[in-house]
Amino acid sequence: MDWRSLTFDWNHARAFLATAEEGSLSAAARALGMAQPTIGRQVAALEQEMNVVLFERAGRGLILTPSGQELRDHLRAMGEAATRFSLAAAGRSQSIAGSIRITASEVYSAHLLPPIIMRLRALHPGIEVEIVASNSRTDLLRREADIAIRNYTSTQPELIVRKVKDDTGAYYATPAYLRSIGEPRTLGEMARGVFLGFAPREAMATALRPLGLDLTPAHFPIISESHLVQWEYVKRGAGIGVITEAVGDAETLVRRVLPDAAPIQFPMFLVTHRELHTSKRVRTVFDLLAAELARPADSTLPHPPAAGSIGFPSGA
């Protein structure tokens, strides 16, 4: 290998790759957790180091030049190799102290995880936790998180998947709202009300039909990509919403719409990267999450530490 030919700074290359992938300096800065002017200087430094023009300005946007497109493709391969190196190194770490990134939906992050993370911190104060609260899929292969809590399984061979349990949800609304629509006693009568949901409205109506609700897009006058925002509207009497029973049953402002109806079931999985299962820190957090999330909803409050480990999954 000709080491003398490596004349550029990897940090500069990373700034360029992030800008090319994210589409702008500001988006790259957010992705890398850096200031936009710093990203701009690093991209300019790479252009000077390589003696090429990587971007052309089009109004307020950036367009890759042919040279920029070619170098981006080479750097993608370098970035993937760097990610694999980082995963392998992290997987061999036997220190519990350090940072870990956990991703889960907004509802799980805000309502189910706090007592569990408090217990984790009480047991292992050297672990620093970052919660990535997102309803979108987080890419574990690109190290956007170390552990994910998901309601769907993953088939990628590089990932280890463990089913924790089948979670359950139900329909909720305020007593006043239910009185305003005539106290529905059946799924059919619930169509007299309106619902909170995600975009697009057509998809929401379609998703609920197999559950016995004959709804149209007009039943969703208020939509939001944030489930927490939807829940706030439900609590204020704006309509009917669906949420996990652990959260809905604990909220005194609402009640179940059909208390005797069968709950809505959906699986809960823990997922991590195969390279990370040899990391003592990831293993410790994964085991604790698996044990705590599997407990009944009314037993998730902080409690004294339990000795031992439930064991790390061998793979799925």
Q: Which positions ≥6 away from 53 have C-beta within 8 Å?
A: 47, 65, 67, 68
The predicted pLDDT at position 239 comes to: 98
Bridge partners, 273 (sequence order): 159
- Write the class of the CATH domain 168-263: alpha beta
Enumerate the H helices of the chain as residue ranges. 10-22, 25-32, 36-50, 66-91, 106-107, 113-123, 175-180, 187-190, 201-208, 227-235, 245-248, 280-293
The predicted pLDDT at position 117 comes to: 97
The predicted pLDDT at position 84 comes to: 63
Q: Report phi then psi at 251, rounded to 5.
A: -90, 120
The predicted pLDDT at position 298 comes to: 54
β-strand 196-197 against 127-133: which pairing, if any? Answer: unpaired
Rounded Cα–Cα distance for residues 24 and 243 (Å): 36
The predicted pLDDT at position 100 comes to: 94
Say yes or no: domain 3-91 is CATH 2.160.10.10. Answer: no
Which residue stretches of the chain have pLDDT < 70? 1-8, 59-60, 79, 81-95, 276-277, 297-316
Q: Which helix (H) or strand (E) holds 170?
A: strand 159-173
Say yes or no: domain 98-166+266-299 is CATH 3.40.50.2300. Answer: no
Cβ atoms < 10 Å from Cβ of 113: 22
Decide if 3-91 and 98-166+266-299 have a common fold: no
The predicted pLDDT at position 258 comes to: 95
Domain ranges of the chain: 3-91, 98-166+266-299, 168-263
The predicted pLDDT at position 313 comes to: 34
Is there a contact between 185 and 258 (Cβ–Cβ < 8 Å)? yes
Bridge partners, 223 (sequence order): 197
β-strand 241-244 against 147-150: which pairing, if any? Answer: unpaired
Of residues 35, 10, 22, 31, the one with CA closest to residue 62 = 22
Confidence (pTM): 0.66
Cα separations in angstroms, 280 against 115, 124, 177, 310: 22, 12, 50, 14
The predicted pLDDT at position 233 comes to: 98
The predicted pLDDT at position 193 comes to: 97
The predicted pLDDT at position 90 comes to: 57
Rounded Cα–Cα distance for residues 240 and 227 (Å): 13
